[in-house]
Structure 1
Amino acid sequence: MFDRTYYATHPDMMACASNQELRDRYLIGSLFRPNQCVLNYTHADRLVIGGVLVESGSVRLPDQAEPASATGHPFLERRELGIVNVGRVDSVVTVDGKAFTLGPKDSLYVTMGARDVRFSGDGARFYLASSPAHRAFETRKLSLAGARMLERGSRDEANDRRIHQLVIPGICDSAQLAMGLTILQPGSVWNTMPPHVHERRSEIYFYFDLDDPANGRVMHFMGQGDATRHLVMAEGEAVISPPWSIHMGVGTSAYAFIWIMAGENQDYDDMIVLDICQLA
């Protein structure tokens, strides 16, 4: 059922790790395969990260295949799901027979208990993020226009960006999933300034919408503030940020990224901020 499983790591495990070992532990790639729903399981707050690429027809969110006691049960039996259209065409997600049309960068929150989720639209690309849930809420379509928008940074600092809060208390209630979409403005390449960590939740970034998807890259910085490392990431890849790790990046052009968090605390501003001069 799961393409890969990513295990939780201690900050000491960063020491002497090779670039390939860092990629194996934290980078989630190969999310988009024709007419497949690719799912990856991470022990970082039990998040599941996936992608769907529809060439024709429709693709169904699979039922559970493990453990044996859960085989055949709906994937969202005890989970909730965030979906973002990361393609360039209008696409459709159908939840228990109800169709939702999502334009580019539109998203959908699917509540715990949904039994049948299908993706359709020739050339459609969807990013998926799922966390465990303890109660059901309302399945809702979320557009950028309906999000809470925060303006951060400046063009002079090359980090002028618009943060669109989507699944977050007061906008779209959830059990523990938090999700948003940040769009860098033309001429800006840095995200998430100042850098910070979340001691009570994990976060995962998904980078996309680079000006040159084939050749553009994002240099993602992670690790503890006094021992930073980096990963070179391509269009359509995700990276896991454990609670002890900073998460920030700089791209070869402006881009967009989806941030998702899960944990016991849904307060967006609950973070430990580090001054850029503290990094080493």
Structure 2
Amino acid sequence: MVKVLITGAAGQVGSELVKLAPAGFDAVGYNSSELDITNAQQVQRIVAEQVPALIINAAAYTAVDKAESDADRAYVVNEIGVKNLAQAALALGIPVFHISTDYVFDGTATAPYKETDPVGPTGVYGASKLAGEQVIISSGVKHIILRTSWVFGAEGNNFVTTMIRIGKERDTLGVVADQHGCPTSAASIANVLWQLAKKFIEAGELPWGVYHFSNSPATTWYGFACEIFKQAVAARLLEKAPVVNPIKTSDHPTPAKRPAWSVMDGSILVNLLGCAVPGWQQELSAVLHQLK
């Protein structure tokens, strides 16, 4: 059995990584109370005890708005915690797979972001995640940094679970229609990371670096919400869909500035793995089935 250490195992992606571990892999998952990645000594001890073939880091500070007033904590988790994992992996000579975000970009593009496009986060969350990327790269550890976007799943708080809750409480709501991105299921992120893990174990090597991955096609939060309600009614999670009104970002001010454009070009990873990109509508259907 190939042992893989997974941090943040109680989160959206972490729980899917544990659940979807392929045959031949032993997914050893730690939640944040069992393994605090900001504690360097604890990280070193557990990694040395487990001796995994690789580490997948699904632990992160992801409260985008809260990060604006809680910057110290965001950086401790998203930069220092990642540095601790990179150093522990380096000591064992094993790679780190790390999940990053579309928020490393400023959102002013009009074409899908490529891995080589200049970064420029507009808020603390994105800046702290970029710092985590940079600390992995500068550590010298072998790494895959997987940037993804608009993550949803049956676990935890996300746009899908929030919309289902609001749909039960309200007859009408406004949803932002001028931010563009690709909703991505936690399960499809987990599956791609496992495909990379299999490729690494089989070949003993990978083309290391930064990759983009998200489900397709691009939409807006408004478009995403409309599809959630349509499918939720069909799945009998909701009796009826609320009326959804498209609004502008300026109509819904938030502490953190959101990128207007979060669409990323994932073709390099798709070509590397030779896999088709799942559609987010299909992934949404699977998540709603789980919620039911």
- Greater per-residue strand proportion: 1
TM-score higher than 0.5 here?
A: no
TM-score (norm 2): 0.30
Q: Structure with the greater relative contact order (CA < 8 A, sep ≥ 6): 1 or 2?
A: 2
TM-score (norm 1): 0.31
Larger radius of gyration: 2
- Greater per-residue helix proportion: 2
